[in-house]
């Protein structure tokens, strides 16, 4: 009986995560692994080498949400260009949020959150205020409740005959559907 093995002969161990493949190679070659020698060369404990040889994979870091994430919009508004209040110290902002917005966390937790959020950290380190949003909030109304009327006077207009006249234009915008109605009046 002939057995063909596809064995990679050039094998380099760069990190602990390479050890399970190394173990498989050594088992196929029916060779023993010198764990103490590996540990000395890698600068780790022999038990750590044994753990990784048996298939250990470290757990990744967990991305946990902070309890302060709920206050992100409030903090951004307080540190924006539009805010009249200036906070020179993180502790003063923390105390303000505790007193006025019900924030329940320790001062060190709050300072760590501010330092971890770049736009908030820049406010305290470089005195860079957060730019305010340039858009406007759309005002929503139920059907049949509201309409807006606007009037523009003395708009120069040229007719198809080449006559120049001034017109007044009225625009009615319905609040729910945003349907627009234009009307104009010709003045002599």
Q: What are phi and psi of 6, to 5 degrees?
A: -95, 90
Question: What is the DSSP annotation of 120-163?
Answer: HHHHHHS--PBPPP-S-------TTS-EEEEEEEEEEEE-TTS-
pLDDT score for 123: 87
What integer pLDDT is reported at residue 16 of this predicted model?
86
- Which of these, 153, 156, 182, lies nearest to 168 by C-alpha position? 153
What whole-number distance in Å separates Cα of residue 41 and Cα of residue 84? 61
pLDDT at 94: 92
Name the fold adopted by 1-60: Arc Repressor Mutant, subunit A (1.10.10)
Q: Report yes or no on whether pTM surpasses 0.75.
A: no
**φ and ψ at residue 52, rounded to 5 degrees:** -70, -30
Predicted local confidence at residue 137, as pLDDT: 66
Give the pLDDT means over successive 10-residue stretches in the chain (188 positions).
68 83 84 89 90 85 83 89 85 92 91 90 82 67 87 84 88 87 73
What is the rounded end-to-end Cα distance, in angstroms, of the chain?
A: 111
Q: What pLDDT shows up at residue 98?
A: 92
Check: CB of residue 132 under 8 Å from CB of residue 123: no
CA of residue 9 relative to chain centroid, distance: 46
């Amino acid at each position: 009986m002939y057995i063909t093995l596809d064995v990679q002969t050039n094998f380099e161990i760069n990190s602990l995560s390479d050890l399970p493949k190394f173990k498989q190679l050594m088992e196929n070659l029916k060779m023993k692994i010198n764990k103490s020698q590996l540990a000395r060369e890698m600068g780790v404990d022999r038990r750590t080498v044994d753990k990784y040889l048996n298939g250990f994979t470290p757990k990744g870091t967990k991305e946990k949400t902070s309890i302060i994430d709920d206050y992100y919009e409030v903090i951004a508004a307080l540190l924006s260009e539009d805010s009249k209040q200036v906070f020179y110290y993180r502790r003063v902002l923390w105390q303000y949020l505790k007193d006025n917005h019900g924030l329940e966390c320790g001062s060190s937790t709050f300072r760590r959150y501010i330092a971890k959020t770049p736009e908030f950290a820049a406010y305290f380190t470089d005195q860079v205020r957060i730019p305010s949003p340039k858009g406007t909030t759309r005002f929503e109304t139920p059907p049949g409740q509201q309409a807006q009327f606007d009037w523009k006077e003395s708009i120069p207009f040229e007719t198809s005959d080449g006559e120049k006249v001034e017109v007044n234009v009225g625009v009615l915008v319905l609040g729910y559907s945003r349907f627009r109605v234009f009307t104009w009046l010709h003045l002599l």
